[in-house]
Structure 1
Amino acid sequence: MPENGLGRQGNAVINTILNEPEKASYEGIAVVAELADVNVSTITRTAQSLGFGGWPEFRLEVRKRFLAHLGTNGASRKSDAAEPVTRALVKDRDNLTETVRTVDPAVVAHIARAMADARRTYVVAESTYGAIARTVAHTARLAGYNVEAIATGTLEIANRLAHVDDGDVVVLVAYWRYFRNAERSARAARDRGARTFLVGDDRSPDASAWSEATVRVPAGGPTFFPSLVPCLSVCQALVAELAALDPERSAKAIADADEYWRRFGLVHWEN
């Protein structure tokens, strides 16, 4: 801390970070400057006054402290039973509203068309988002398309992507914590000729160098855990678009699956 303090504008920057820690952890310098009602150079000077090289380095420290706070307070904090439930539901609702407002249906349709034209599609995801990859693969196969999920870890991703070729499509489902692995996976697939696409969150870096088209959705939750609803909704919309490209094909595939469900006794109410 400088001997004479940070001054009025520097204090405004610090107060903004304290009041908006999530935005300060991920937004660019221009956004934080606007929130603090100062210019960009003031943000840089404040960071340097505190011993950082500039805003990017300062932001990393802010993010580290923000996530540590969530880990010790957000995920395990005890409060009134209704509060976390309501906050989670409201956050998902708001995220989904933002998704409807910002997602370009033409981009989703472009990815669906690529999947329809592909010999095979891999949907690649890690951790929590693996459930979404498996859901997409399951429903897309029901619609009559050769879609597989790779969601069991980095080793399996590497093993499977080693065999893709120019007839394949790889759809990465990733949010910022696993973004580096998503980029590595996409670049590896592209090296073998596959087309690659990303369904990511709105905090992740630019992916245009390795993703033919990208859909970004909000993933921030009220605690440490991400919101899955926007990503799942977009992926379900992707499968809906895929099925609509060739309704006869999808109808036949669903009818065939239904026949085998009955043959295996899976339709329990008919037993």
Structure 2
Amino acid sequence: MDKHDPAPQALGDLISRHSTRLTDADTRLLDVLVQDPIRAAMDNGKDVSLRAGVHPASAVRLARRLGFKGYPEFRSFLQANLMVGGEDFESPAARMAARLVRAEEGGLLASVLDSEIAALNNVRNSVSDADIRAFSERLCNSRRIFVFGRGHSSALSALITLRLVRSGYDAVNLGGQVDQLPEALSTFCKYDVLWLLTFRRTSPLVHELRRIAADRGAQTLALTDLHAARIDPAPEHQISISRGEPGESQSLVVPMTIANAVILDLAAIDDGRSIRALREFRSFKATSRLTVD
């Protein structure tokens, strides 16, 4: 595009700006692009023209009318808009398409690794040892720990609960027994801790669990990404982190790394409770016949 021409933020801006120059073929091409923005960012000009039923050179002419040097530059614009995000990123297909777009430049595995490394490096600047200690102190002083995560965070909920149980803590994975939440929480009290894991969106169920904890006087810890940061009422302690930019892999390594740090710090402050429990568990596991081949 002309470097003196301010860059539009969306395809709709381009269409409005150049509407008087567009032909019937342009309109057919734009209909195809607008109806499927994910595929539009992936296809070349020939493929788009074929789907629109116009001459293969029509896509190039459209790109030039919109101010681009050619269709590759226009396609890069569409890809950039996909990777910036927006409503399309509520769609898993859109998020995956954006990651594939990014991977075209340097390879799929390299792009995933770069995304994970960048997200982990951001944690250095956004989470402190004091944040980790606030979590571990509440866990250490609790009677029981209720861990809740759904969707992608359900895997972390199960793993965190497993590690806490092996460290000698009475932990319950609420994410694994959603149908029995009333039974699990019927004796919830001020001596317990609720640890919430929520990414992308905060579901009504998370808000209800937080409300119950507040009513019972229990402490709530929340590990969230930036898009799901708002919980009402606010938890006593919350760590909100970025799991990756739009168009990048939304890391589960980042929250798991923070959870691992919390559990490690817990072992540092609980007067040997975690270490003793781990030794006892290892001894029991070695002498029992409960291991599945």
User: Where in structure 1 are there 5+ consecutive unaligned residues?
Assistant: 1-7, 19-61
- Given that 2:190 and 2:219 are in contact with CA atoms closer than 8 Å, whether structure 1 keeps it comes out as yes
- Given that 1:140 and 1:147 are in contact with CA atoms closer than 8 Å, whether structure 2 keeps it comes out as yes
User: Where in structure 2 are there 5+ consecutive unaligned residues?
Assistant: 14-84
Instruction: Provide the rounded CA distance (Å) in 2 between the counterparts of 1:201 and 1:88.
Output: 18
User: Who is 1:203 aligned against?
Assistant: 227
User: Who is 2:251 aligned against?
Assistant: 227
Deviations for 1:19-71, whole angstroms, at most 9, x for unmatched residues?
xxxxxxxxxxxxxxxxxxxxxxxxxxxxxxxxxxxxxxxxxxx7323444615
Shift of 1:115: 1.0
- Given that 1:158 and 1:185 are in contact with CA atoms closer than 8 Å, whether structure 2 keeps it comes out as no
Q: Does 1:163 align with 2:184?
A: no
**Sequence identity of aligned pairs in percent?**
18
Shift of 1:76: 7.7
Aligned length in residues: 218
1:1-271 equivalences in 2 (<5 Å) = 14=9, 63-68=86-91, 70=94, 73-74=97-98, 83-152=107-176, 154-207=178-231, 209-220=233-244, 226-264=250-288
- Given that 2:112 and 2:248 are in contact with CA atoms closer than 8 Å, whether structure 1 keeps it comes out as no
**Which deviates the most, 241-250 or 117-126?**
241-250
TM-score (norm 1): 0.68
- Secondary structure of the equivalent of 1:177? coil
User: Who is 2:54 aligned against?
Assistant: none
- Given that 1:171 and 1:196 are in contact with CA atoms closer than 8 Å, whether structure 2 keeps it comes out as yes
The letter of the residue matching 2:264 is A
Instruction: Provide the rounded CA distance (Å) in 2 between the counterparts of 1:145 and 1:16.
Output: 54
User: Who is 1:59 aligned against?
Assistant: none
- Given that 2:112 and 2:249 are in contact with CA atoms closer than 8 Å, whether structure 1 keeps it comes out as no
Shift of 1:111: 1.5
Q: 1:83 to 1:163 in 2, by over 3 A?
A: farther
- Secondary structure of the equivalent of 1:200? strand
Shift of 1:124: 0.7
- Given that 1:151 and 1:157 are in contact with CA atoms closer than 8 Å, whether structure 2 keeps it comes out as no
CA RMSD of aligned residues (A): 3.5
- Given that 1:111 and 1:238 are in contact with CA atoms closer than 8 Å, whether structure 2 keeps it comes out as yes
Shift of 1:117: 0.8
Deviations for 1:98-143, whole angstroms, at most 9, x for unmatched residues?
0122102212211211111111011111011111111111112222
Q: 1:255 to 1:165 in 2, by over 3 A?
A: same
Instruction: Provide the rounded CA distance (Å) in 2 between the counterparts of 1:154 and 1:84.
Output: 36
The letter of the residue matching 1:217 is I
Higher gyration radius (CA): 2
Q: 1:115 to 1:17 in 2, by over 3 A?
A: farther
